[in-house]
Structure 1
Amino acid sequence: MVRWLLLSLVMLSGMGAARAQDATLPNTPVPALDLQRYVGTWHEIAHLPLFFQRNCAANTTATYAVRPDGRVTVRNACETAEGKPLVSEGVARPVPGQPGALQVRFAPAWLGWLPMVWADYWVVELDPEYRWAVVGGPSRKYLWILSRTPTMPRDQFDALRERAARRGYPVERLIQAGQTVE
């Protein structure tokens, strides 16, 4: 009887693990990213809390532009609760062999030779028409849900949030960035 009970528990735990595995999505960069279509302004709909965004209260945007050297200029902007603008500028470089992966640096250019000043920026999900994107990284410590417009339909946001959770991101901590989810 004890042997049967143990065997049953092992089988049930294995089935639960299989179901949990079926519910996961890979946390990898998208296999294709057209930088020419990706550049421009994106509105942040939500993000995981980050120290450098602690003072952002509204109108958070990320604007990208391809440079002649193949890198990408990054300009992050937002407004504080008092309505003051905050801007941070950096540069991103493509990761060879991974079209959906970039490395971003906000440190001064003269520190660019240090590996620790470059952070992984993975586009993990992207609308075929480039209307929205989900950006994260291998550590799952950061996540952004971006849109070309300052609003996103509630059902679209909920679907992106659910898929981010299936990739292992702690979506219960998402902060809506003062943009509208309708």
Structure 2
Amino acid sequence: MRFLQKLTLVTFLCVLLSSCTSVPDGVKPITGFNLNKYLGQWYELARYDHSFEEGLSRVTATYSMRDDDGVKVINRGYSEDAGEWEEAEGTAYFVDEPTTAHLKVSFFGPFYASYIVMKLDKENYQYALVTGPDREYLWLLARTKTLPDATIAELMTFAENAGYDTDKLIWVDQNTAL
């Protein structure tokens, strides 16, 4: 009986952990993805509210290659309340082939979550809409601190059509003076 209990527990944990790298229904990761063009610094223009970014402004995400073919992720933001920068370093790896923009990212040891680029300026890699394993996560990233209104409107329509509530987005202040 103990063996069956252990097997059930291991199976449950595998299902739980694998669901964290799932893709929300109806969302398709970008194909034809070029990681080398995606590397570098991105500004977080908008996001859904989460405790790990609460109160942060001037948020950036910087991606670079690791020696093990993974991606080094550095998320950085300024906390007005604390009067200091906060930074988190993580690692990311492709879930499938490296031309599909579906990665698993971890900031906490062996626990991974999906990082899915669902909309991308595939020509110049100047903006991206990113989601997680479900519709509780949404980020609008750009290479610049602002985007044209028409581009933002197009991205918001895309997100809404994919089932995201864009009214929940927090628009990040990228211009706070220190």
Runs of 4+ in 1 over 6 A off after TM superposition: none
The match for 1:101 is 102
2:105 alignment partner AA: V
Quote how far apart the aligned CAs of 1:179 are. 3.1
2:50 alignment partner AA: L
- Residue 88 of structure 1 aligns to a residue in which SS? strand
1:75 alignment partner AA: I
Aligned counterpart for 1:169 among listed residues 160, 164, 171: 164
Are 2:54 and 1:60 equivalent residues in the alignment? Answer: no
Which structure has the bigger radius of gyration? 1
Aligned counterpart for 1:125 among listed residues 119, 128, 140: 119
The match for 1:34 is 34
- Residue 151 of structure 2 aligns to a residue in which SS? helix
- Residue 70 of structure 1 aligns to a residue in which SS? coil
RMSD: 1.7
2:112 alignment partner AA: W
CA distance in 1, matches of 2:125, 2:85: 27
1:158 alignment partner AA: A
- Residue 157 of structure 2 aligns to a residue in which SS? helix
Unaligned runs of 5+ in 2: 1-24
Quote how far apart the aligned CAs of 1:159 are. 1.3
Quote how far apart the aligned CAs of 1:39 are. 0.6
Work out whether residues 103 and 118 of structure 1, in 8 Å CA contact, stay in contact via their aligned partners in 2: yes
1:101-157 CA-partner distances (Å, limit 9, x unpaired): 00000013xxx2xxxx10000000110210001100341110000000111112211
Work out whether residues 35 and 66 of structure 1, in 8 Å CA contact, stay in contact via their aligned partners in 2: no
Equivalent pairs counted in the alignment come to 148
CA distance in 2, matches of 1:68, 1:33: 20
CA distance in 1, matches of 2:80, 2:154: 29
1:78 alignment partner AA: G
Quote how far apart the aligned CAs of 1:31 are. 1.2
Work out whether residues 28 and 138 of structure 1, in 8 Å CA contact, stay in contact via their aligned partners in 2: no
The match for 2:92 is 92
Identity of aligned residues (%): 34
Quote how far apart the aligned CAs of 1:28 are. 1.3
Pick the structure with more helix per residue: 1
TM-score by length of 2: 0.78
